[in-house]
Amino acid sequence: MAHLDNLVERISDPTLRAQIAAEVAKLVERKDFGLVFQRHLPEDLEVPSVRPRRGDTVRIRQAETKQNYVVLSTRAREASIIAVDAAKQTVEGSYTERHDFDGLVVVKDFNVPIYPGLQQLGEIKRGGEKPAHLVIEGENYYALEMLLYTNESKVDVIYVDPPYNTGADDWIYNDRFVSKTDAYRHSKWLSFMERRLIHAKRLLKDTGVVIVAIGDDEHHRLRMLMDQVFGANNFIANVTWQGGGSALARHHAGGTDYMLVYGQNAEKVGKFLDPKPFATDMLRLVQETLSHGSTAEQAQVALRAFIKANSKSMSEGLTRFNNIDPSGMIYETADLTNRLYRPNLRYTVTDPESGRVYDPPENGWTVKKGLMDEFVSAGLIAFGQRPRKKKSLDEYIYEMPVPTFVHSRNAANAHLERVLGDKRFPFPKDHEVIMRWLRMAGRKDAVILDFFGGSGTTTEAVIRLNAEDGGMRQSILVTNNEVAAKVAAKLRSSGYFPGDPEWEAEGVFQKVTRPRIETVVTGVRPDGSTYSEGLDENVTFQKLTYEDANLVALGRKFDAVAPLLWMKAGALGPVVRRDGDNAWALPGDAVYGILFDTAHAKTFADFVAEHLMPIRHVYVVTDSESAFQTAVAYLPAEQRISTTRLYSDYLHSFEINGKG
* 3-state per-residue secondary structure call for 488-552: HHHHHHCCCCCCCHHHHCCCHHHHHHHHHHHHHHHCECCCCCECCCCCCCEEEEEEEEECCHHHH
Q: How far apart are CA 537 and CA 539, in angstroms?
A: 7
Whole-number pLDDT of residue 165: 82
Q: Are 145 and 114 in contact (CB under 8 A)?
A: yes
Order of strands across the sheet that contains 538-546: 116-125, 538-546, 133-137, 474-479, 447-450, 155-160, 204-214, 256-263, 235-242, 404-406
Whole-number pLDDT of residue 180: 64
DSSP state of 343: G
Q: Determine if residue 222 is left, alpha or beta; phi over 0 gives left, psi from -120 to 50 gives alpha, anything else beta.
A: alpha
Q: How far apart are CA 255 and CA 241, in angstroms?
A: 8
Q: How far apart are CA 509 and CA 515, in angstroms?
A: 8
Whole-number pLDDT of residue 30: 56
Q: Determine if residue 255 is left, alpha or beta; phi over 0 gives left, psi from -120 to 50 gives alpha, anything else beta.
A: left
Compute CA 506 distance to the chain's CA centroid, rounded to the nearest angstrom: 24
Whole-number pLDDT of residue 21: 84
Residue spans per domain, the chain: 1-30, 44-109, 116-273+401-542, 279-398, 569-657
Whole-number pLDDT of residue 194: 93
Same CATH fold assignment for domains 44-109 and 116-273+401-542: no
Beta-carbon contacts of residue 329 (< 8 Å; ≥ 6 apart): 390, 392, 393, 394
Whole-number pLDDT of residue 8: 80
Q: How far apart are CA 100 and CA 79, in angstroms?
A: 6
Q: How far apart are CA 653 and CA 72, in angstroms?
A: 28
User: Domain 116-273+401-542 adopts which CATH fold?
Assistant: Rossmann fold (3.40.50)
In 3D space, the residue among 426, 482, 473, 424 whose CA is nearest the CA of residue 452 turns out to be 482
Whole-number pLDDT of residue 365: 97
| Cis status, amide bond into 42, omega within 30 of 0 | yes
Partners of 465 in beta bridges: none
Whole-number pLDDT of residue 294: 93
Q: Are 140 and 480 in contact (CB under 8 A)?
A: yes
Q: How far apart are CA 424 and CA 414, in angstroms?
A: 11
Q: How far apart are CA 331 and CA 5, in angstroms?
A: 71
For 603, other C-beta atoms within 10 Å of its C-beta total 13
Q: Are strands 235-242 and 404-406 parallel, antiparallel or unpaired?
A: parallel
Please provide the CATH number assigned to the domain covering 44-109: 2.30.30.30
What are the mean pLDDT values of the chain's consecutive 10-residue runs (660 residues total)? 70 83 72 62 78 92 88 93 87 92 89 90 95 96 96 98 76 54 78 94 98 94 96 97 74 84 96 91 94 94 96 91 95 96 96 96 96 96 95 91 89 95 91 96 97 97 96 97 91 91 95 98 96 97 94 92 95 92 93 96 95 92 94 89 92 72
Helix or strand (DSSP H, E) at 57: strand 57-60
Fill in the amino acid letter for 301: V
pTM score of the predicted model: 0.85
Whole-number pLDDT of residue 295: 94
